[in-house]
């Protein structure tokens, strides 16, 4: 990791002492450096979260396995979920947003550069605090160290009666702190996008990546705030004698569920919209066509933003809501498939009639389309609340949301890594290694997450540290575990490729993909000030207009 | 040139085949995973009770519709990626720039809208039929209380209290005797899930829930707690014994009797009643009336110990009393640390509780 930073730094103008170099990175308020810090931070936690997943999969490889104790297993799934959502997925997407938004809208930095730095460091220290629990979480003799309450930490497991020691406090405070960081980033995104677009870039001419991050940022403010409030209430319960969620004193476990999922479901869309944003930038460039139905794509994004605020209780179909409640959340959850479907069709429409080049970014985006289709369809199954009574809390639901988070979000992220790598580092990655990464990851992903649906259908609940033989689950669990290792190898190739290309990759040039958005009009990596002169745009594809003066976009938009 | 094109199209085929295989394997294996005949696999697609069956019928509709969508959209993506691949003989010119089409957009908004409407109406029917089903006069009432990490069952009308192994009668269509279960929790959240009988319903403290089952045939149905409830969530197993009407009546009569007394086990009984056992366990007709742990009045009528974690054998019973962690690490039963002699006597006493 350190060598990667040094290499990047060399491109940014080397020749400093280590102290100067470190000082430069720690005190930076440059959106590009902060973006890279976010990304490196997330890759670090991705590896840790991956190791936790691997520990779980080894334990579940065979029934009645003794690889880890139930206590350790419960910590692993809690830390894996919390890490992957709050300290990998969100920061990496924020990192790409922070890096790309000013470049794509023709600005020289974010609206609030210092808030930008504050947000990053809050998130980073939130992550470190969570992991400090392994050392400092005990508190009482015999009490566990790392949190073991599950990533949605249902009450009353988090009350002091059931969670002695400080492990739950580390979880609460880590999320509280990183949540404040997320809200800061969201405010920054919104302000930047609203106020700092270059001349000519009306909202209707803004790149889709900026649009989708704008909607995401709005959702972050609406969704992370209740989570933050709930964390404070939980602290009050545990230390100030409040009884919001303390069922032994008449509190409500269901209240916590509502608070958590009013955050938790929009969170899924907070993660998937930036991933849609990557696909909406990459697919057109590699199909050599503009995005199909730009206004509809924007409208669908906004619709997803609104509808996603009204679906949270589909995580709670089994908690005994009234039949009317279940009916309401069934229809809202099904409705969200319409704007999402529109997006899939528009991406297909973009490829239709194009000249598709299957470079690594495009490969990952095409795989994303297939996998997101499946994830959406299993989502419809889960939206039908009676079917959900069987599927929720089982390995089917685990497979479903990993299909979304890995099959869709991580795949587009890998695409984004390869697509913007030459811009961020100035060097091209190795295409052969990227293809190895792609195919191994596709195989590993499908081995793991296709077959993970089946034990769920056969009655295997999630979050069990071991299971009984003879229920038809053994074979599938073994396959799932094998797939995990294949994915692990693929990720190692990915990290290796990025590191190797940092030093040995061919120089990429400003615009290696013959792309159309503003970030490709400046040098790779961009100078501190991004653009020597602020660009003026006339259409959604300013570089197309530049390259095809005889047939510019603004004539048709 | 030629070679690279071949590899490319081969790669495309591999991609297509891989995805197709993945989709069909899921469908095929789910159907094939559970061979016909009595099976202990808690397969949600082998329902044996009206709620599970209603869900199964709805799930077939949902699966058919989603499969059709899958095939259509999958083919579109596969066709687009195969057909519009840039050829090696390409002249490097840009393809025609198309910005969108309102008609096409309208079509792929309205058609999914209609599909959603159909799915929603079918789903709403099942929600109401399962959740708001009226309780017929012959219904059996059970109160299930979730504990860390075991199940307490009370039959208030029949005067029976038992643990971990739920007995219910077969419900035939002419004379339905469904079982209506009130779900309570003594500590954390749990979830009652026996996939072949009904979908899951959570047990939440301060939040009574209800579910019902009407099994159509006798047999043993397995499930387990489906909401994370603490260290031993994994070994909070569910066993539902569906008995014929006569067997069920016999079982109820047996459970209503006071605990058997046997002079040969008097020493074990003295140990039981003079140690911490009675703080948590009840044996009817004796001084033992604890409520934190399972009722032991008819312990030997049960097939398993520790919420299904071990078979109810003499060796397991001994191990369970002496060192519960050897069977279920993290269970709330304390290790009794008895001498071998006392342990033998206590085990012998418990074995008389039939």
Q: How confident is the model at residue A191 (pLDDT cuts 50, 70, 90)?
A: very high
φ, ψ dihedrals at B44, nearest 5°: -70, -15
The pLDDT of residue A519 is 95
User: pLDDT higher for B20 or A194?
Assistant: A194
pLDDT mean over A349-378: 96
Interface test with B, best of A307, A461, A552, A555 (most B CBs within 10 A): A461
List, edge to edge, every strand of the sheet that includes B209-213.
B160-163, B150-155, B140-147, B179-185, B209-213
Q: How confident is the model at residue A501 (pLDDT cuts 50, 70, 90)?
A: very high
Confirm or reject contact between B320 and chain A (CB < 8 A).
no
**Does the structure show a pLDDT above 80 at B10?**
no
Averaged confidence pLDDT in chain B: 89
In a 3-state reduction of DSSP, which class is residue B209? strand
The pLDDT of residue A267 is 95
Q: Which of A493, A479, A478, A477 is nearest to A446 (CA)?
A: A479
The pLDDT of residue B200 is 96
Helices A31-60 and A70-82: angle between axes, nearest 10 degrees: 150
Does the beta-carbon distance from B120 to A331 stay under 8 Å?
A: yes
In chain A, which residues have their Cβ closer than 8 Å to the Cβ of B95?
Answer: 287-289, 353-355
Averaged confidence pLDDT in chain A: 93
Q: How many CB atoms lie within 10 A of CB B129?
A: 15
Please calculate the CA angle B103-B107-B111 and round it to the nearest 5 degrees. 170
**Does the structure show a pLDDT above 90 at A243?**
yes
In chain A, which residues have their Cβ closer than 8 Å to the Cβ of B128?
Answer: 323, 327
**Does the structure show a pLDDT above 80 at B36?**
no
Q: What is the pLDDT of residues A279-292, one digit of tens each?
A: 999 999 999 999 99
- Integer Cα distance of B83 and A144 in angstroms: 57
**Does the structure show a pLDDT above 70 at A3?**
no
Does the beta-carbon distance from A390 to B128 stay under 8 Å?
A: no
Is domain B140-256 in CATH 2.60.40.420, yes or no?
A: yes
Confirm or reject contact between B130 and chain A (CB < 8 A).
yes
- Integer Cα distance of B129 and B28 in angstroms: 30
In a 3-state reduction of DSSP, which class is residue A80? helix
User: pLDDT higher for A136 or B115?
Assistant: B115
Its ipTM equals 0.91
Interface test with B, best of A146, A331, A389 (most B CBs within 10 A): A389
The pLDDT of residue A553 is 86
CB nearest to A319's CB, from B58, B204, B330: B204
Q: How confident is the model at residue B175 (pLDDT cuts 50, 70, 90)?
A: confident
Q: Which of B333, B313, B316 is nearest to B324 (CA)?
A: B333
The pLDDT of residue A224 is 95
Shortest alpha-carbon distance between residue B157 and chain A (Å): 24
CB nearest to B233's CB, from A320, A463, A471: A463
Question: Right CATH number for A2-555 from 3.40.50.10330, 1.20.210.10, 2.60.40.10, 1.20.1090.10?
Answer: 1.20.210.10
CB nearest to A338's CB, from B95, B113, B227: B113
Q: Which of B293, B284, B280, B213 is nearest to B255 (CA)?
A: B284
Q: What is the pLDDT of residues B232-289, one digit of tens each?
A: 999 999 999 999 999 999 999 999 998 888 888 899 999 999 999 999 999 998 999 9
Nearest chain B residue (CA) to A462 = B226
Assess contact for A194 and A186: CB atoms under 8 A.
no
Assess contact for A543 and A515: CB atoms under 8 A.
yes
Structure tokens at A515: 């792309």
Shortest alpha-carbon distance between residue A410 and chain B (Å): 18
In a 3-state reduction of DSSP, which class is residue B152? strand
Assess contact for A144 and A166: CB atoms under 8 A.
no
Specify the long-range contacts of residues A99-102, CB closer than 8 Å, at least 24 apart. A99/A31, A99/A32, A99/A34, A99/A35, A99/A36, A99/A39, A99/A420, A99/A424, A100/A35, A100/A209, A100/A420, A100/A519, A101/A31, A101/A189, A101/A192, A101/A193, A101/A209, A101/A210, A101/A213, A102/A31, A102/A192, A102/A196, A102/A530
Does the beta-carbon distance from A290 to B25 stay under 8 Å?
A: no
**Does the structure show a pLDDT above 90 at B23?**
no
In chain A, which residues have their Cβ closer than 8 Å to the Cβ of B70?
Answer: 373-374, 377
The pLDDT of residue A556 is 79
- Integer Cα distance of A463 and A74 in angstroms: 7
Cβ neighbors of A256 (< 8 A, separation 6 or more) are A153, A154, A155, A158, A230, A234, A244, A245
Q: What is the pLDDT of residues A289-302, one digit of tens each?
A: 999 999 999 999 99
Rg (CA), chain B: 28
Does the beta-carbon distance from A253 to B206 stay under 8 Å?
A: yes
Does the beta-carbon distance from B41 to A472 stay under 8 Å?
A: yes
In a 3-state reduction of DSSP, which class is residue B179? strand
**Does the structure show a pLDDT above 90 at B68?**
yes
CB pairs under 8 A between A and B: 299
Does the beta-carbon distance from B86 to A556 stay under 8 Å?
A: no
Query: What is the residue extent of each domain of chain B?
Result: 13-83+104-131, 140-256, 263-350
Interface test with A, best of B27, B195, B211, B236 (most A CBs within 10 A): B195
Q: What is the pLDDT of residues B289-343, one digit of tens each?
A: 999 999 999 999 999 999 999 999 999 999 999 999 999 999 999 998 899 999 9
The pLDDT of residue A357 is 94
Confirm or reject contact between B112 and chain A (CB < 8 A).
yes
Q: How many CB atoms lie within 10 A of CB A522?
A: 19
Q: How confident is the model at residue A237 (pLDDT cuts 50, 70, 90)?
A: very high
Q: What is the pLDDT of residues A364-415, one digit of tens each?
A: 999 999 999 999 999 999 999 999 999 999 999 999 999 999 999 999 999 9
User: pLDDT higher for B24 or A442?
Assistant: A442
Q: How confident is the model at residue A165 (pLDDT cuts 50, 70, 90)?
A: confident
The pLDDT of residue B91 is 86
CATH, range B263-350: 2.60.40.420
- DSSP assignment of A505-539, as one string? SPB--S-TT---SGGGGS-SSPPTTS-SS----SS
Shortest alpha-carbon distance between residue A293 and chain B (Å): 4
Q: How many CB atoms lie within 10 A of CB B29?
A: 18
Please calculate the CA angle A196-A198-A202 and round it to the nearest 5 degrees. 90
Q: What is the pLDDT of residues A22-70, one digit of tens each?
A: 999 999 999 999 999 999 999 999 999 999 999 999 999 999 999 999 9
The pLDDT of residue B17 is 56
Does the beta-carbon distance from B23 to A374 stay under 8 Å?
A: yes
**Does the structure show a pLDDT above 70 at A15?**
no
The pLDDT of residue A6 is 46
The two domains B140-256 and B263-350 share their CATH topology (first three levels equal):
yes
Does the beta-carbon distance from A342 to B108 stay under 8 Å?
A: yes
């Amino acid at each position: 990791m350190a060598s990667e930073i040094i290499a990047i730094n060399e491109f940014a103008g080397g020749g400093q002492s280590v102290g100067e170099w470190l000082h430069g990175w720690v005190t930076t308020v440059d959106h590009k450096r902060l973006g890279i810090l976010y990304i490196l931070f997330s890759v670090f936690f991705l590896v840790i979260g991956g190791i936790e997943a691997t520990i779980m999969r080894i334990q579940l490889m065979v029934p009645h396995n003794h690889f880890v104790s139930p206590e350790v297993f419960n910590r692993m799934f809690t830390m894996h979920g919390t890490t992957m959502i709050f300290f990998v997925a969100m920061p990496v997407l924020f990192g790409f947003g922070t890096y790309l938004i000013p470049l794509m809208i023709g600005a020289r930095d974010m609206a609030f550069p210092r808030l930008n730095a504050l947000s990053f460091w809050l998130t980073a220290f939130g992550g470190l605090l969570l992991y400090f629990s392994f050392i400092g979480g005990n508190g009482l003799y015999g009490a566990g160290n790392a949190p073991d309450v599950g990533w949605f930490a249902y009450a009353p497991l988090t009350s002091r009666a059931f969670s002695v020691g400080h492990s739950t406090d580390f979880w609460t405070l880590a999320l509280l702190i990183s949540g404040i960081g997320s809200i800061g980033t969201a405010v920054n995104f919104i302000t930047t996008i609203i106020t700092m677009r270059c001349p000519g870039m009306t909202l209707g001419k803004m790149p889709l990546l900026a649009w989708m991050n704008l909607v995401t940022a709005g959702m972050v403010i609406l969704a992370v705030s209740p989570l933050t409030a709930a964390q404070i209430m939980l602290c009050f319960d545990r230390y100030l004698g409040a009884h919001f969620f303390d069922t032994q004193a008449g509190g409500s476990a269901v209240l916590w569920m509502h608070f958590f999922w009013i955050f938790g479901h929009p969170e899924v869309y907070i993660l998937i919209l930036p991933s849609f944003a990557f696909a909406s930038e990459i697919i057109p460039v590699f199909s050599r066509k503009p995005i199909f139905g730009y206004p509809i794509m924007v409208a669908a994004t906004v619709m997803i933003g609104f509808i996603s605020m009204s679906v949270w209780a589909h995580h709670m179909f089994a908690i005994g809501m009234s039949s009317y409640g279940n009916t309401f959340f069934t229809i809202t959850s099904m409705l969200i498939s319409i704007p999402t479907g529109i997006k899939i069709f528009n991406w297909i429409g973009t490829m239709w009639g194009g000249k598709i080049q299957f470079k690594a970014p495009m490969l990952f985006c095409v795989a994303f389309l297939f996998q997101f289709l499946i994830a959406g369809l299993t989502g419809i199954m889960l939206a039908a609340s009676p079917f959900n009574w069987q599927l929720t809390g089982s390995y089917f639901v685990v497979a479903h949301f990993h299909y979304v988070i890995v099959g869709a979000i991580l795949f587009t992220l890998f695409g984004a890594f390869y697509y913007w790598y030459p811009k961020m580092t100035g060097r091209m990655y190795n295409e052969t290694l990227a293809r190895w990464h792609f195919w191994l990851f596709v195989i590993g992903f499908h081995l793991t997450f296709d077959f993970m649906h089946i034990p769920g259908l056969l009655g295997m609940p999630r979050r069990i540290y071991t299971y009984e033989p003879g229920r038809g689950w053994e074979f599938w669990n073994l396959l799932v575990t094998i797939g995990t290792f294949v994915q692990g190898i693929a990720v190692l190739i990915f990290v290796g490729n990025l590191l190797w290309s940092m030093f040995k990759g061919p120089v990429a040039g400003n615009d290696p993909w013959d792309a159309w958005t503003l970030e490709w009009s400046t040098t790779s990596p961009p100078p501190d000030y991004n653009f020597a002169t602020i660009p003026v745009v006339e259409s959604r594809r300013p570089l197309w207009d530049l390259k095809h003066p005889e047939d510019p976009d603004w004539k048709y938009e | 040139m030629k070679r690279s094109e071949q590899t490319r199209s081969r790669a495309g085929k591999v991609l297509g085949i891989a995805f197709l295989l993945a989709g069909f394997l899921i469908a095929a294996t789910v159907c094939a995973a559970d061979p016909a005949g009595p099976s202990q696999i808690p397969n949600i697609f082998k329902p044996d009770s009206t709620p599970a069956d209603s869900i199964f019928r709805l799930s077939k509709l949902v699966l058919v519709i989603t499969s059709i969508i899958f095939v259509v959209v999958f083919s579109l993506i596969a066709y687009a990626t195969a057909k519009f691949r840039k050829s090696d003989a390409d002249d490097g010119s840009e393809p025609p720039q198309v910005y969108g089409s309102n008609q096409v957009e309208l079509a792929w908004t309205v058609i999914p809208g209609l599909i959603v409407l159909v799915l929603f109406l079918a789903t709403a029917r099942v929600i109401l039929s399962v959740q708001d089903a009226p309780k017929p006069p012959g219904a059996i009432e059970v109160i299930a209380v979730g504990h860390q990490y075991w199940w307490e069952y009370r039959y208030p009308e029949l005067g029976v209290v038992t643990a971990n192994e739920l007995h219910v009668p077969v419900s035939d269509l002419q004379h339905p005797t469904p079982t209506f279960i009130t779900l309570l929790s003594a500590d954390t959240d749990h979830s009652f899930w026996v996939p072949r009988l009904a979908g899951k319903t959570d047990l939440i403290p301060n939040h009574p829930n209800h579910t019902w089952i009407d099994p159509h045939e006798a047999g043993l149905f397995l499930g387990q707690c489906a909401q994370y409830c603490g260290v031993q969530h994994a070994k909070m197993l569910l066993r539902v014994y569906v008995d014929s009407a006569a067997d069920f009546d016999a079982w109820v009569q047996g459970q209503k009797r006071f605990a058997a007394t046997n002079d040969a086990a008097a020493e074990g009984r003295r140990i039981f009643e003079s140690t911490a056992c009675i703080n948590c366990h009840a044996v009817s007709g004796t001084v033992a009336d604890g409520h934190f742990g399972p009722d032991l009045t008819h312990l030997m009528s049960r097939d398993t110990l520790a919420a299904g974690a071990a078979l109810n054998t003499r060796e397991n019973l001994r191990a369970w009393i002496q060192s519960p962690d050897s069977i279920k690490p993290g269970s709330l039963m304390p290790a009794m640390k008895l001498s071998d002699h006392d342990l033998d006597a206590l085990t012998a006493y418990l074995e008389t509780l039939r």
